[in-house]
Structure 1
Amino acid sequence: MGSINNSPHHFKNIGLLPICHIVTPVGNLGYGFHEEETNGALESCVSSNVPTAIILDSGSTDSGPSKLALGNMTCPRNAYVRDLTKLLRLVDKYKVPLIFSSAGGDGSDGHVREMVEVIEEIASASGNEHYQLKTIAIFAEIQKSLVKERLSAGVISGCGPVVPPLTEDDIEKSSRIVSQMGPEPFLDAMLANPDFNVIVGGRAYDPSPYIAYAAFKASASFENTSTEDKKRLFGGFAHMGKIMECGALCATPKSHGATATLYSNGTFDISPHSPNSRCTPQSVAAHTLYEKSRPDLLYGPGGHLDLTTAKYEQLEDGRTCRILGATFTFTRDTGLPYQTKLEGAQVIGYRTMFMGSIRDPILIGQLDPFLNDLVKPYVAGQHQDVGEWQLDFHRYGQHQVSTLPSQVGQPGEVLIIGEALAATQEIANGLAATARFGTAHGGYVNQKATSGNLAWGIGGKLEIELGPCAEFCIYHLMDLQPGEERLSLTPDSDGLYSQEPKTALTGEVEKDPEAIPSTLGDIALFLRSKNAGPYEITFDVMFENDKEYRLVKDSDMLNKQAVAKLLQRKEEEIVWIGFFDQARAFKVTIPRLRHGRVHPNGSYMENDIWAAQQYLPLMNMKLPERFLRYWMADKVGESSS
């Protein structure tokens, strides 16, 4: 079990004054966590007599728009009951506060209330009668009328260059709109209720509750923030929150929980709870690339975090990383208005799917024209009077070769998933049924098997109703007027507040040092792809040592032209591309496209909502001769020395 040396003697020797400890059991409430590891971390922290809190995130746009559009939660309600039962037990045992944000996944008002109800149920359960909980709820939904007013005033813009302009129709069709809160409402709530022990937050910038608690314990206000000391202090708070909101994802191998210790000059330490994991300078620096369009400047409510001067140091225990040097610049100090991110989604129709597989190599060889030029026109001919609709097909395994003894070298089995979208569920059902029939019985050139083209009936289903289909329609920045970013300190009838505008599998890869690399994947320590908001996909490539990193950087193999061609994008479409020396990493961010058009994640025909499987073109990128010359020369130099 991980522990941190928090003795007063240790702090005196290193000359740092601790502000607080923050324990994050897992990167998302509802995912489950190791209670024993969290218990051990809290015992160590509380025994140091330094203020301690349990803080974790509970939401994201990662899993798509259905939460905002349909009122779903990221996890089943019983998963939140399970996690909160364990967390409240720890709150009671160690007398530490619990703070979490973006309740239910989207941070909508309804989900904030749902989490408050769960907490009340747990507190009133048999055996918990002694719990003394002061729970504060902060809401983040915003009225459509205000958004329309600000749109008319011209103070709303897309969050990123690929996000389309907002329209009044987008506002009207959205089921609800949330405003991503900064740390100000959380800090205001803490100051107004210093004896709180639970805060349930609506939609928030993920680091916000971390920043707020650190500021609360440091007695750091949002006044006079233009000084270098304040910029470094809040830079440390924001950098810590950015890393900690994902738990110990910053560790190697990644694990569930982590603890941060913050100091009075903005320096902070991070250590994982798992005894098999450690936080290293590279693993922590690399995490600042995660899910972001660029690694050096990270924008959030009211300003931006600058990591260009951040430094990372391995401490003597080999498991703890010390971080310092980041700065946070508040937009108000540059003469610009405070901006908040708006999020909203709409229902665009109803979906039905069917699925089955095709093994016939004759059909697989002409699968695209069969589906596009035969099946789709057939469906259109049978449904001419049903209004607008869409039909498309996912194809899995289309270009793979079989290893079966009777079929070696021939095309392998292809899984087909047909997906229909229409104004009603009944129409979508009919479209999918017709498409299934057309796929199963359509004729094709040189056909020999006439009893049916499709192996179907998985789960005994002909078609599977998927219900309403959601799509992001609001992902925009809105200017706030001075003071609107703060908390309304007048509670509603329930005593609740609102913001003014209204066990993981891990492993490490061992590399053969003598093997001659042929692809980028051979020399990379890690490669990953991930959504950076609904409209962008970002790719990170990290290297184990400075030599390999410098070889790649100096060879110019990852130039804009080469990467654009590899990822099948135009050069001018690349949102950001470059190297990040602190993490020995390369990063590129591109728009998320479907059929050549920018399209947000999680809607119709989605097949990789996190974009987590899009890194293969980079992993399989052939190393150019100029790189291999660099690499061989380096190896020769090593052997001669």
Structure 2
Amino acid sequence: MLGYSFDQSLTYKALVELSKHSPDIPTALILDSGSTDSGPAKLALGSMTCPRSAYERDLRSLMSLSHEFGVPILIGSAGGDGTDTHVDEFLDIIQEITDEPDNELYHFKTLAIYSNVSKTTVLKSLHAGKITGCGLSVPKLTEDDVNNAVTIVAQIGPEPFLDAMKTEPDFNIVIGGRAYDPSPYTAFSIFHARSLASKVLTDEQIGGFTHMGKIMECGALCAKPKSLTSMATIYLDGSFDVKPLDSGARCTPLSVAAHTLYEKSRPDILAGPGGSLDLRNTTYRQLDDGISVQVHGATFAWLKDSDAPYTVKLEAAKLKGYRTIFMGGIRDPILIGQIDSYLSKVKTRVQSLHGDAEGDCVNFHVYGSNGIMNDLEPGDVAYLPREIFIVGEALAATQKLANSISSSARVALMHGSYPGQRGTGGNFAMGIGGKLEIEMGPGAEFCLYHLMDLPVGTEGAYQIKNETEEGAPAAVAQSPHPLFSWRAIAIGKGDPRIGTKDRKIAEHNERYTSPIPGKVVKQATPNFPTGDPLLLTKTSTLSEIAPVIRSKNSGPYDITLDVVFSSPEIYALTKASSLLTTATIARLYHLDESEIIWCGFFDQAMAFKATIPRKRGGVFVSSGAYMETDVHASQQYAGLLDLTLPEELRVKIMELGLERID
């Protein structure tokens, strides 16, 4: 992720090696920058995922590498949400860096791709019945949702990148608006494959390019241990090699295959703009260097092949009132034993004092009980912790009203009475950080996460010519142009003719004998963890036989659960047992079986996956909204850890005599 930082020396060393041994192979520095993981605030409030200074730092390093080695930079989803405003913000950063005193030789032909979509376009598609929810738990789109959206973006596929790159093939930087994560990787591969082989590429080639992008957009998360930086080598047939650049890390067939599950609703077919990536026949092979894996077998299934329209995903958020919170703890076991009924009384009291507040104006996160998982909490409902931490959250039409509601709730919690009360001085340990109420400002909520059908031929981008930057966003939505637009900007005063072919590679390599001048990087001997002993007991649990049990959001409305095994024997026995089923997941997370979005096994990764909806108070909700507790959904796997193995399965695993599950 651009803005998360990276080790420049690792990339530098890799580029030095490529310039020595493979100087003619097309090479690029590609980063994804976007996500809905952190919630709706970016789309509603105009913020970015990282501070501007973090993007300045990473872009400065990337531009230095690009200038030194003559390789282009491709970035998707500028600022995290990919709005036109943030694309232009990145252009400003690039301009500022080139204007710095030491960068007078810089020259970057920069292509900016815009992805904002007008409300007029969306409403027209809505009225024509061309918009559907992206998933079963996404509510039906309404006119109010569209009108209340602050900014609407659509996830671009590789086509807009290709349209811009074909027109300006000597580009140096591409800044993309909101993009499907693999799109810049796929586009760069298609761009060069068409020039090296054929203008018409097969579904296997497109599938391989997209699969590579799906893995690479997360850096070396597919490595053991997970790392920051990775490199892929893509071949014309769509197969590719992937390896981490971090010393001591390696990719294995299992670690790469398992990454396919990551933050996706299902592991075998991954939907994207215009079609789906089909991974059912993929294979993963360890290469001789012990750190690289070669991947074959992906294919891309186009919607057009089934006479279905090309679709793009729309994303938008709306403002949802103002929020104020207060925090504190309770240690009294008498009150802890009746906390649910007591908090209900507090809510009733607060709502009686604020008749001008709409709906459910105050709620409580009860940490130590079910503060993280809420309705999905699988633990014993009778469990009583020694102490609890409470965060009260008020939502109202104005900040002043939210402050009043929060204050009333804090006072009622502090001074209310309850059966068996002994401590009459106060019920609530508060004042953390010297604050009683904390203003949180405007709140946000997702209002669009929907698929929109596109007319034939409009999935690409048209070029904006002779327009000011202020005029670019407005031009994007004009019919009958393609949905997206792009423009080229020459940034920097250096000589644009100086590139890779004009540099003296030999002199460069002789001059720099280590990755960064003046810095010697030691090559550590890989030391891979061997795993934990397999010590099954009478009450053995899933965590004892599976080295990876995790959860993650799969878009704003869904949560996906992954269980990855490392022993083929244990995987086969578990798959044949009744341990992991739709019924198990429904029971564990208090859902009806019909609400389970996807559930099944994926043999290539020796893994089980289930995807469930986000629910709160018995209704589907989106991430990052009022009363959010786990926007990434990264702690929702906890209920799986203590899932007890059936006795028959436990005995069969014991009979295997395996010593480790690493």
TM-score of the superposed pair, with normalisation by structure 2: 0.87
Deviation at 1:559, TM superposition (A): 1.7
Alignment of 1:599-610 (within 5 A): 599-610=621-632
* 1:263-308 CA distance string (max 9 Å, x none): 1111100010111110110000000101110000001001111000
Corresponding residue for residue 479 of structure 1: 453
Distance 1:232 1:519 in 2: 41
Corresponding residue for residue 498 of structure 2: none
Contact 2:132 2:140 in 1 (8 A): yes
Instruction: Tell me how large the CA RMSD over aligned residues is.
Output: 2.0
Alignment of 1:193-232 (within 5 A): 193-219=168-194, 230-232=202-204
Deviation at 1:384, TM superposition (A): 1.8
Corresponding residue for residue 264 of structure 1: 236
Please state whether the residue corresponding to 1:163 is helix, strand or coil: coil
Q: Is residue 557 of structure 1 aligned with residue 579 of structure 2? A: yes
Corresponding residue for residue 394 of structure 2: 420
Corresponding residue for residue 356 of structure 1: 328
Q: 1:463 to 1:492 in 2, by over 3 A?
A: farther
Q: Which of the residues 62, 83, 88 maps onto 2:37?
A: 62
Q: Is residue 454 of structure 1 aligned with residue 416 of structure 2? A: no
Q: Which of the residues 26, 29, 53 maps onto 2:2?
A: 29
Please state whether the residue corresponding to 1:134 is helix, strand or coil: strand
* 1:177-208 CA distance string (max 9 Å, x none): 00100000001111100111001100010000
Distance 2:323 2:198 in 1: 51
Q: 1:303 to 1:510 in 2, by over 3 A?
A: same
Instruction: Please tell me the residue identity of whatever aligns with 1:234.
Output: I
* 1:147-191 CA distance string (max 9 Å, x none): 100111111101111111111110000001001000000011111
Corresponding residue for residue 516 of structure 2: none
Q: Is residue 41 of structure 1 aligned with residue 14 of structure 2? A: yes
Corresponding residue for residue 591 of structure 1: 613
Corresponding residue for residue 636 of structure 2: 614
Q: Which of the residues 132, 145, 165 maps onto 2:120?
A: 145
Deviation at 1:492, TM superposition (A): 5.5
Contact 2:351 2:361 in 1 (8 A): no
* 1:60-97 CA distance string (max 9 Å, x none): 11110000011010001111111111111111111100
Contact 2:258 2:607 in 1 (8 A): yes
Q: Which of the residues 615, 637, 645 maps onto 1:623?
A: 645
Q: Name the stretch that deviates more: 391-400 or 621-630.
A: 391-400
Distance 1:411 1:484 in 2: 58
Deviation at 1:39, TM superposition (A): 1.0
* 1:497-528 CA distance string (max 9 Å, x none): 958325xxx99572213444711011001011
Q: 1:305 to 1:521 in 2, by over 3 A?
A: same
Please state whether the residue corresponding to 1:339 is helix, strand or coil: strand
Alignment of 1:155-174 (within 5 A): 155-174=130-149
Q: Is residue 510 of structure 1 aligned with residue 531 of structure 2? A: yes
Deviation at 1:347, TM superposition (A): 0.6
Instruction: Please tell me the residue identity of whatever aligns with 2:258.
Output: A
Deviation at 1:390, TM superposition (A): 1.6
* 1:361-415 CA distance string (max 9 Å, x none): 111111111111x211111121123444521000111389xxxxxxxx9842211
Please state whether the residue corresponding to 1:354 is helix, strand or coil: strand
Corresponding residue for residue 281 of structure 2: 309
Q: 1:115 to 1:224 in 2, by over 3 A?
A: closer
Alignment of 1:205-604 (within 5 A): 205-219=180-194, 230-372=202-344, 374-398=345-369, 411-491=385-465, 493-494=467-468, 500-502=482-484, 510-516=531-537, 518-604=540-626
Contact 1:398 1:413 in 2 (8 A): no
Contact 2:337 2:384 in 1 (8 A): no
Please state whether the residue corresponding to 1:521 is helix, strand or coil: helix
Q: Which runs of 5+ in 1 are unaligned?
A: 1-27, 401-408
Q: 1:222 to 1:601 in 2, by over 3 A?
A: farther
Please state whether the residue corresponding to 1:285 is helix, strand or coil: helix
Deviation at 1:219, TM superposition (A): 1.2
* 1:194-228 CA distance string (max 9 Å, x none): 11100110001000000000011111799996xxx
Please state whether the residue corresponding to 2:79 is helix, strand or coil: helix
Please state whether the residue corresponding to 2:247 is helix, strand or coil: coil
Contact 1:399 1:411 in 2 (8 A): no
Please state whether the residue corresponding to 2:657 is helix, strand or coil: helix
Contact 2:131 2:453 in 1 (8 A): yes
Q: Which of the residues 85, 96, 101 maps onto 2:76?
A: 101
Distance 2:646 2:105 in 1: 68
Distance 2:370 2:575 in 1: 33
Deviation at 1:459, TM superposition (A): 1.0
Distance 1:156 1:278 in 2: 43
Corresponding residue for residue 8 of structure 1: none
Distance 2:194 2:357 in 1: 63
Q: 1:220 to 1:592 in 2, by over 3 A?
A: farther
Please state whether the residue corresponding to 1:248 is helix, strand or coil: coil
Contact 2:3 2:54 in 1 (8 A): yes
Please state whether the residue corresponding to 2:102 is helix, strand or coil: coil
Q: Name the stretch that deviates more: 308-317 or 325-334.
A: 325-334
Please state whether the residue corresponding to 1:247 is helix, strand or coil: coil
Instruction: Please tell me the residue identity of whatever aligns with 2:420.
Output: N
Contact 2:461 2:483 in 1 (8 A): no
Q: 1:276 to 1:494 in 2, by over 3 A?
A: farther
Please state whether the residue corresponding to 1:384 is helix, strand or coil: coil
Please state whether the residue corresponding to 2:445 is helix, strand or coil: strand
Deviation at 1:43, TM superposition (A): 1.7
The higher relative CO (CA closer than 8 Å, separation ≥ 6) is in 2
Instruction: Please tell me the residue identity of whatever aligns with 2:432.
Output: I
Deviation at 1:493, TM superposition (A): 1.4
* 1:320-352 CA distance string (max 9 Å, x none): 000011101221222111001000110111100
Distance 1:440 1:308 in 2: 57
Instruction: Please tell me the residue identity of whatever aligns with 1:295.
Output: P
Distance 1:269 1:336 in 2: 33
Please state whether the residue corresponding to 1:43 is helix, strand or coil: helix
Deviation at 1:560, TM superposition (A): 1.4
* 1:36-63 CA distance string (max 9 Å, x none): 1111122222331211100000011111
Distance 2:81 2:235 in 1: 32
Instruction: Please tell me the residue identity of whatever aligns with 2:366.
Output: R
Contact 1:258 1:271 in 2 (8 A): yes
Contact 2:159 2:187 in 1 (8 A): yes
Please state whether the residue corresponding to 2:103 is helix, strand or coil: coil
Distance 1:92 1:248 in 2: 24
Q: 1:539 to 1:207 in 2, by over 3 A?
A: same
Instruction: Please tell me the residue identity of whatever aligns with 1:464.
Output: I
Please state whether the residue corresponding to 1:55 is helix, strand or coil: strand
Corresponding residue for residue 510 of structure 2: none
Contact 1:248 1:272 in 2 (8 A): yes
Q: 1:215 to 1:381 in 2, by over 3 A?
A: same
Please state whether the residue corresponding to 1:219 is helix, strand or coil: helix
Distance 1:204 1:311 in 2: 27
Corresponding residue for residue 513 of structure 2: none
Q: 1:261 to 1:464 in 2, by over 3 A?
A: same
Distance 1:58 1:413 in 2: 40
* 1:250-274 CA distance string (max 9 Å, x none): 1110000000000111110001011
Q: Which runs of 5+ in 2 are unaligned?
A: 372-382, 485-526
